[in-house]
Structure 1
Amino acid sequence: MKIESIVTIKKELKHLPKEELIELCLRLGKFKKENKAMLTYLLFQADDEQGYISAVQETVDELFDEMNTYSYFYMKKTIRKILKQIRQYIRFSKNKTTEVELLLYFCEKLLQLKPSIFNNTTLTNIYERQIESIQKKIGALHEDLQFDYNQRIVELESLE
């Protein structure tokens, strides 16, 4: 089966009646958890970006609280899982400030971990890559936001 391009799908969707579009969205939501999460964001949370950020931060807090910190092996697995989930939430939003906020929060949580992530090379590299990524993304934001976020990065670096 040949999978059609987004442009072709968009053209076809324009010709469908409202009821069929609703039915297609519901069918799409049944197949994958990610699709359902995306629909939830678009329908209920897209209007309140700050509320969305807070909800994601609560989820991240829960994941960090459940982390097994007795072994760096389990810490690495959990941290990668959390980062993957954060990236998924970022893709839903497509808002650059949301992306920077969530990644900064992730880095803050990494620094609070006991034992320290700086005793493990892999965890240190994950942290440093995220800081570099944040700095690149900050460059695309408004000057006032750039200043605020750069201040937060300086604060993070002072905690290291």
Structure 2
Amino acid sequence: MSITTYGLAQIKKEIQHLPAPQLAELCLRLARYKKENKELLAYLLFEQHNEADFMENVKAEAGFMFSQLPSQSYFTAKGLRKILKMLTKYIKFSGSKTVEIELLLSFCQNYLQYVIKQTSYKPIRLILTRQIDKVKATISKLHEDIQFDYTADYNKMLDEADSKLPWLNKKSHLL
């Protein structure tokens, strides 16, 4: 016997008919089973109203993780993926394109500061180029006014990357 999985529309309709105490009980029960559910609920309750502080805390945590990266290329790549996994989780929690751009630009700047510049280990290089491409794609989806603000930050980061990393092709990443 298996439990039927319902779609979000059906679940939303059913939730609208529940009284507040029963809804709170369901939320707590859901939070009990997965750490990520608990973290999302904590973000929605305590952090969502102050996104700037939330971003600064996440940037600080990522910066600390960057400072702890090992020097061996294989383990550096693993550490970078771990940082990206954390950033992706928080980006998903916020659901905001501006938060996504801010955190990914911060990732790229930390990468330029902490990661070995002359590495020939391709996975480390690909991690940065993928994040640059993500930032570029996300900026292009924003409103023109906001897009202008982030384009300047993006181009500044790209100039810095071009000067520090001989293997980066700046022209392929320009907006």
Q: TM-score scaled by structure 1? A: 0.92
1:9 matched to 2:8:
no
Q: CA 1:136/1:74 → structure 2, altered by over 3 Å: closer, same or farther?
A: same
User: Match of 2:49, SS?
Assistant: coil
Matches within 5 A, 1:9-158: 9-68=11-70, 70-116=71-117, 118-158=119-159
Runs of 5+ unmatched residues, structure 2: 162-175
Amino acid at match of 2:134: S
Q: Is the 8 A contact 1:45 1:52 kept in 2?
A: yes
User: Match of 1:2, SS?
Assistant: coil
Q: 135-144 vs 5-14, which deviates more?
A: 135-144
User: Match of 2:145, SS?
Assistant: helix
Q: CA 1:9/1:44 → structure 2, altered by over 3 Å: closer, same or farther?
A: same
Q: What is the distance in 1 between the residues matched to 2:119 and 2:133? A: 16
Runs of 5+ unmatched residues, structure 1: none
Q: What is the distance in 1 between the residues matched to 2:100 and 2:118? A: 22
User: Over aligned residues, Cα RMSD in angstroms?
Assistant: 1.5
Q: Is the 8 A contact 1:117 1:124 kept in 2?
A: no
Q: What is the distance in 1 between the residues matched to 2:63 and 2:88? A: 15
Q: What is the distance in 1 between the residues matched to 2:146 and 2:10? A: 38
Cα distance, 1:152 vs structure 2: 1.6
Q: What is the distance in 2 between the residues matched to 1:98 and 1:62? A: 19
Deviations 1:84-119 (A, max 9, x none): 111110111111101100110011111111422754
Q: What is the distance in 2 between the residues matched to 1:42 and 1:106? A: 23
Cα distance, 1:127 vs structure 2: 0.7
Q: Is the 8 A contact 1:107 1:130 kept in 2?
A: yes
Q: What is the distance in 1 between the residues matched to 2:146 and 2:105? A: 13
Paired residues, number: 159
User: Match of 2:30, SS?
Assistant: helix
Cα distance, 1:143 vs structure 2: 2.4
